[in-house]
Amino acid sequence: MQTKVLILGSTGLLGSAFKHVSKNYNLDFMFPLRDELDLLNPLELEKYIKSHKPDFVINCAGQNAVKAIENDLEAFELALKLNAYLPFELSKLSKQYNFRLITFSSDYVFDGQKKSYRESDLRNPINRYGLTKSLGEQLAISLDSKVSIFRTAWLFGPFKQNFVSFMVSKAMENQEIKVVDDQYGSPTFTIDIAEYILDNIESHENGVFHLVNDSCVSWYDLTKLSFMILNLSNKVQRVSSEDFKSSVNRPLNSCLNSYNITKLRPLELALKEYLTNYEL
């Protein structure tokens, strides 16, 4: 019998990458949409899992509107449900129905005061989004079930707007481009994540893993690198986080290092593939 893989959140930035690469794998995939399965309804979720009996559940659902979560209580509440309570619910079900849960977390669980972070570093979120992701990790792991948590960061990829595609569209329209140059992170290609997870589907272990393309760059560096790959000569102005007044505290340096798994390929290669092989 074929291995059954249930993908949640398949219309999102990361989930759509899983859907795109799924044709290359000899696995039995399920991609229920929101109207077939409301992830905020635990009874519906259990019923779906009970009847479809997945061997793996890959949870790409979440609420990532960092600014809204910080400023709007309703968005914060929704983020708590999707980012913290849903991984807990899925972790409970994984015990009961014997599947491995693969779920995603974020570099924003860290405060950004270190040069780079390893898996074992202490979480210390400095905004509400980070808090919801940190809670999700703790709750999912607390049950001692078959759970693999992959922290990733600054996602870019096809099928949904992201920072890179947004900057390129601004350049195409000759708009003024100002980018923060003092926040560092590890931008990651959604397709690389999906392929890594599916290539190794049978061998994931319990625990927390950093899954990012190999780099540690600022938003400014990422913009310049993207423009260089596309031969765009638009001017990019550097601004500091202080100048770029925001209602959200963001970690200044949340670069991730992988000590528990092999790193994905260097950022430059992944970015080149995205910018030259996919529609932006």
Ligand X SMILES: NC(=O)c1ccc[n+]([C@@H]2O[C@H](COP(=O)([O-])OP(=O)(O)OC[C@H]3O[C@@H](n4cnc5c(N)ncnc54)[C@H](OP(=O)(O)O)[C@@H]3O)[C@@H](O)[C@H]2O)c1
Instruction: Report how far residue 82's alpha carbon sits from residue 192's, in angstroms, rounded to the nearest whole number.
Output: 24
- Shortest CB 170 distance to ligand X, Å: 18
Q: Indicate the burial class of 155 (C-beta count within 10 angstroms; 0-12, 13-18, 19 or more).
A: buried
Q: Are 90 and 143 in contact (CB under 8 A)?
A: no
Q: Check residue 186 for interaction with ligand X (CB under 6 A).
A: no
**Which member of 24, 38, 71, 169 binds ligand X (CB under 6 A)?**
38
- Shortest CB 88 distance to ligand X, Å: 14
**Which member of 91, 94, 106, 148 binds ligand X (CB under 6 A)?**
106
Q: Check residue 60 for interaction with ligand X (CB under 6 A).
A: yes
Instruction: Report how far residue 258's alpha carbon sits from residue 212's, in angstroms, rounded to the nearest whole number.
Output: 8
**Which member of 6, 14, 57, 75 binds ligand X (CB under 6 A)?**
14
Of 153 and 216, the one with the shorter C-beta distance to ligand X is 153
Q: Check residue 157 for interaction with ligand X (CB under 6 A).
A: no
Q: Check residue 61 for interaction with ligand X (CB under 6 A).
A: yes
**Which member of 6, 64, 184, 251 binds ligand X (CB under 6 A)?**
64
Q: Check residue 164 for interaction with ligand X (CB under 6 A).
A: no
Q: Check residue 160 for interaction with ligand X (CB under 6 A).
A: yes
Number of residues that bind ligand X (CB under 6 A): 23
Q: Check residue 194 for interaction with ligand X (CB under 6 A).
A: no
CA dist 265 → 106, 215, 230 (Å): 19, 9, 20
Phi-psi region of 20 (alpha: psi -120 to 50; beta: other; left: phi over 0): alpha
SS (HEC) of 123-191: CCCCCHHHHHHHHHHHHHHCCCCCEEEEEECCEECCCCCCHHHHHHHHHHCCCCCEEECCCEECCEEHH
Q: Which residues bind ligand X (CB under 6 A)?
A: 9, 11-15, 34, 38-40, 60-62, 64, 82, 104, 106, 133, 152-155, 160
